[in-house]
Amino acid sequence: MPEDAATLDHVIPRTNPLRHKLPYYPKELLVLSCNKCNGDRGRRDDSNLRKLANWETQEDLKKILTDPEILSKL
């Protein structure tokens, strides 16, 4: 696939075991990304992405998803 091809990027990756606790995957967590950026994001050292990956309950996730400080930096 070309590096600039459009892909859907899951903000919470499929490999995150907590993702399977969700009753559905929120559409707000699907973003359009070029193929290269989508692949590179998994290797980034980004504290905001780590916050999205580190939640225990759905309430924790709701707090994260409504925090404009976190979402504006993704």
Find the radius of gyration of the CA atoms of the chain. Answer: 13
Question: Is 60 among the domain residues?
Answer: yes
Predicted local confidence at residue 61, as pLDDT: 76
Structural contact between residues 10 and 30, judged by C-beta atoms closer than 8 angstroms: yes
The range of the structural domain enclosing residue 66 comes to 6-71
User: Does residue 47 lie in a domain region?
Assistant: yes
Domain annotation covers residue 33: yes
Instruction: Decide which of 73 and 12 is more confident.
Output: 12
pTM: 0.52
Asked whether residue 62 is domain-assigned, the answer is: yes
The pLDDT of residue 48 is 62
| b/e map 25-56, b = 16+ CB within 10 Å | eeeebeeebeeeebeebeeeeeebbebbbebe
pLDDT of residue 6: 93
What pLDDT is recorded for position 59? 80
Residue 1 lies in a domain: no
31 phi and psi, to 5 degrees?
-130, 150
Provide the number of structural domains found in the chain. Answer: 1
